[in-house]
Every structure is written in structure tokens, then in C-alpha cells.
Amino acid sequence: MELLRMSKAAKRLGIHPMTLRQWALDGKIPFTWVGRERRFSSVDVENMKRGNNSESSRPRLELLYVRASGSSGQESSLEMQEAELRGTTTGTVVKVVKDRGSGLKENRPGLNRVIAMATDGSVTVVRVTHEDRLARFGVGWLKRLFSVYGVTVEVLHPKKLGGRDELLEDFVSLVTTFAGRLYGMRSADNRRRLLTESGQCTDEGTTR
């Protein structure tokens, strides 16, 4: 048995090293730490290769997703992310999807486009520079959803957090969201109380 470096193991499997790294993170293939490097057993690689022939022969139709937190003044960040992803591509780039907004926001136009293209068969790989570009929370659910349609998510730099400023902005966004909902609940309670006191609404919430 031989312990293979990531690049050599990926070459034997016929996949991109980032795909192999993601498989290791997802527990799809065992690995051993040798210093700071992941090493893969040649036996495990061969077993994976035999069971993965059909998947590895699929065309790499890549969707590159880039996101910046601000609505303006973040063009350089988006361009840098796109350049880094394009520089490491090994397939066909079908689409580059850009988003501007907090990673806490679920209903993002760009993210909705990514989900649509992943589920309609337009792409086979979704690539991001960092996991938190895709979402601050719930990335695991997105990966599971995509996997149902045979789409993998590749993270160029796994588990690396974003900058302090963006984390702070996300925190403020989170607090604002909850504060708004709480204020709305209180406003509804106040309106109901005033209607009840004026005799226009009963305690059960029905109007006269």
C-alpha cells in the first residue's frame, strides 16, 4: 500500500484536486495526515476509482459563483474571486454568477440562479473561492440538494472565514432582521390592543 499525495491521488482518479479535497472533507474517501498534508491510500483510491468511473467520465460544466457583501464598491473583490476561479478551472465555464449582499440572506438573485442551473442539468460543478461565499450557514444543505442532481460543490480554500468587516456586517444584518421581526410583533400586538379597547375588536381577534 502506498500513501499518495493529493495531486497524485486526484490524477489517478481523473478528477481535480479540489474535488478530492472536498470528498475528503465530506467523508467520501479516507485519508491520513502526514504533517500538514493529506495522504490517500492507494487501495482506497483504486476502490474509489472502480466505483466512480461513470461520474469521472462526466463533462465538467462549471458554474463560478462570486459574492461580495456590499451593494457597491466591491467590484474588485468580485473580479479577484472570478480570476482565481478561472485560473484553476479544468472544465468548461458555463456561467459566472455574481451576487451582492450578505451571506446570511437566503433570497439572493445570484444564489437562486445557481440553484436553478444546478437542478436543471445546466452544470455539473459549482465552484467558489471560500465556502462562506455561497452562504454563511446551511452550506451542507445546499451540497445535499445539489448532490441529488449529480452536482458537486468545490471550494478553492476550504474552511477559511471571510474578513472581520464582512463578519461584522453580517452580524449587524442578523440583529437588524431579528429587531425588525420583534418590532413587527410588538406593533401587531399594540394594534390588536387598541382595537380591543376601542370596541372594534374582541379578545378573540374578530372585528365587530
The ranges assigned to domains in the chain are 3-56, 61-155, 163-208
Question: What confidence tens digit (pLDDT) does each residue in 132-185 have?
Answer: 899 888 888 898 888 878 888 999 887 654 556 656 666 766 676 667 666 666
Residue 65 pLDDT greater than 90, yes or no: yes
Q: CATH classification of 3-56, choosing from 1.10.1660, 3.40.50, 1.10.760, 3.30.70?
A: 1.10.1660
CA nearest neighbour of 90 among 176, 197, 18 = 18
Could you identify the residue written with the cell 462549471?
62
- Which of 63 and 190 is assigned the larger pLDDT? 63
| Alpha-carbon distances, residue 180 vs 107, 171, 188 (angstroms) | 17, 14, 12
pLDDT at 101: 86
* 57-61, 110-114, 196-200 — most confident range: 110-114
Q: What is the pLDDT of residues 89-114, one digit of tens each?
A: 988 999 999 998 888 888 899 999 99
Note the CATH number of domain 61-155: 3.40.50.1390
Taking only the tens place, the pLDDT of each residue in 10-54 is: 998 888 888 888 888 877 888 888 888 999 999 888 888 876 655
Helices assigned H by DSSP within the chain: 6-13, 17-25, 42-51, 53-56, 75-87, 109-119, 131-134, 139-148, 164-197
Q: Is the pLDDT of residue 189 over 70?
A: no
Tell me what pLDDT residue 93 has. 95
The helix (H) or strand (E) run that includes residue 66 is: strand 61-68
